[in-house]
Amino acid sequence: MTVPRILVVGGGYVGMYAALRLQRKLRRAEARITVVNYDSYMTYQPFLPEAAAGSIEPRHVVVPLRRVLSRCEILNGTILRVSLAEKIAEFRPHEGRERVLGFDYLVFSPGSISRVLPIPGLAERGIGFKTVEEAIHLRNHVLGKLDVAASSSDERLRRRALTFVFVGAGFAGIEALGELEDMVSDAVKYFHGLRRQDMRWFLIEATDRILPEVGLDMGRWTAEQLRRRGIDVRLRTRLLSAENGHIVLDDGEEFDAETLVWTAGVKPHPLVRSGDLPLDSRDRVLANEFLQIQGARFAFTGGDTAAVPDLTRPGEFCPPNAQHAVRQARRMADNILATIRSRPCKPYRHRNAGAVAALGLRKGVAQIYGRELRGIVAWLMHRSYHLSRMPTFNRKSRILADWTLALFFRREIVSLGALQRPREEFELAARTTPRKPAREPVTP
Ligand SMILES: Cc1cc2nc3c(=O)[nH]c(=O)nc-3n(C[C@H](O)[C@H](O)[C@H](O)COP(=O)(O)OP(=O)(O)OC[C@H]3O[C@@H](n4cnc5c(N)ncnc54)[C@H](O)[C@@H]3O)c2cc1C
């Protein structure tokens, strides 16, 4: 008898937590699990801003899939197409030949990508904030710009290097901006000739509010706090162009900036369009209340990719956040087990508990079940909540150690931007090595 295969596409929040629960609950030979993820790790995204600011070592915000999912087969590469009709997925490993993976049950959770607009210069000059690589790059880049400004007497170049623009005032944008500005304000003391006032930080938001997740009042309070820190918060403003680092806003202002971070929302991963998945007008995979993909009782979805009905708000869908992703993963795993064991599935229901965001060291904002919290209380809540959610005791301990060390030592202010050019030194050595002398003619 062949053992049925559960194929998990995407090892992020939904994929990893679903596989974790399945491997714990499945009986031997009941099913085997294959998880396909682009990277060999899951990224705990809510800690990315702290990784960018240097409060947490970047390696500690990722979870090694092979260690956590020891009973699952882990494949690294890209799923190119999923066919529900044929029950197959086309898989391309990072190296080697493509192959077809058959499945009996499917967890479809490739998450989302940044929603980018066709703004001139944006693709060339901008960077997103969704991956640990982007967080590491941004930290090195921002500190590198302080090095550039402190080493130059060209006023125009200094001003350009010290101008930082963030577009989009949701979770990711506000937290990334808050943490990085906080880090730079601390670091600038060590750069001779630079003052906090020399930096210009912009937050550009097309709508009339920031951080909608924490409610109108707390959003206003957050904008006020950011302005007090000298951040130029511009609401109802759009980025028109970023060609050659020249920023043009639709309120008439133009200036040069070396740093442009784009966090203006996400959209479902383009993989959703590759096969025969049922989609809504926003390209989300249509799910029913049991998290089954509509029309396919053996296939399940959730997280940023999916349109999952919110049973606590009839007619609406669950917002794309980690709070739902983790709970959907658990319900999905239980429903897969129920399907395998010919038992009825249960519907997914979770009332949004609210949101909590960090704005830098000892600064935060939260709205939990209607209760508004601010300052250090919200910040402590942010840290304790996410620490409790972080998978594995190993990662929890390492993050706690990072925070404890930060109490006694100042933050690191070194830019390791050269990491992206590791062969430069060796290539220089190779270029400056004298050529092998031509062989002397042998005289008889
Ligand atoms: C900076 C930041 C801060 C955030 N903070 C919070 C917060 O405080 N609270 C909160 O509730 N939410 C927060 N979120 C949102 C939350 O992280 C997401 O909602 C959650 O990660 C969605 O989970 P997911 O499983 O759908 O996608 P993901 O966790 O993104 O996982 C998708 C996985 O699929 C992989 N993948 C994609 N396509 C393929 C393919 N074709 N082949 C193979 N693998 C593929 C990806 O590499 C990725 O590993 C934050 C997000 C960001 C970016």
Write out pLDDT tens, residues 367-407. Answer: 998 899 999 999 999 999 999 999 899 999 999 999 999 88
pLDDT for position 2: 87
For the Cβ of 395 lying below 6 angstroms from any atom of ligand 1, the answer is: no
User: Atom 3 of ligand 1 has which residue's CA nearest to it?
Assistant: 46
For the Cβ of 173 lying below 6 angstroms from any atom of ligand 1, the answer is: no
Q: Which of 238-242, 297-301, 413-417 has the lowest mean pLDDT?
A: 413-417
Cβ 268 vs Cβ 108: under 8 Å: no
Residue reference for tokens 């099913």: 31
Work out the mean pLDDT of the chain and round it to a whole number.
94
For the Cβ of 163 lying below 6 angstroms from any atom of ligand 1, the answer is: no
Task: With cut-offs at 50, 70 and 90, classify the pLDDT of residue 421.
Answer: confident
For the Cβ of 135 lying below 6 angstroms from any atom of ligand 1, the answer is: no
For residue 239, pLDDT over 90 is answered with yes
Q: How far apart are CA 134 and CA 194, in angstroms?
A: 26
Q: What is the pLDDT of residues 38-73, one digit of tens each?
A: 999 999 999 999 999 999 999 999 999 999 999 999
SS3 content of the chain, % helix, strand, coil (to 5): 40, 25, 35
How big is the chain, counted in residues? 444
User: Atom 15 of ligand 1 has which residue's CA nearest to it?
Assistant: 321
| Burial (Cβ within 10 Å: 0-12, 13-18, ≥19) of residue 192 | exposed
pTM of structure: 0.93
Residue reference for tokens 């209607």: 370
From ligand 1's centre to the CA of 115, what distance in Å?
Answer: 14
Number of neighbours of residue 67 by Cβ within 10 angstroms? 12
Residue 5, beta-bridge partner list: 32
Q: How far apart are CA 113 and CA 209, in angstroms?
A: 23
pLDDT for position 439: 64
For the Cβ of 56 lying below 6 angstroms from any atom of ligand 1, the answer is: no
Q: Which of 186-190, 267-271, 326-330, 413-417 has the lowest mean pLDDT?
A: 413-417
Residue reference for tokens 């009339």: 208
Q: For a substitution probing ligand 1, which of 171, 175, 305 has the most ligand atoms within 8 Å of its CB?
A: 171
From ligand 1's centre to the CA of 212, what distance in Å?
Answer: 19
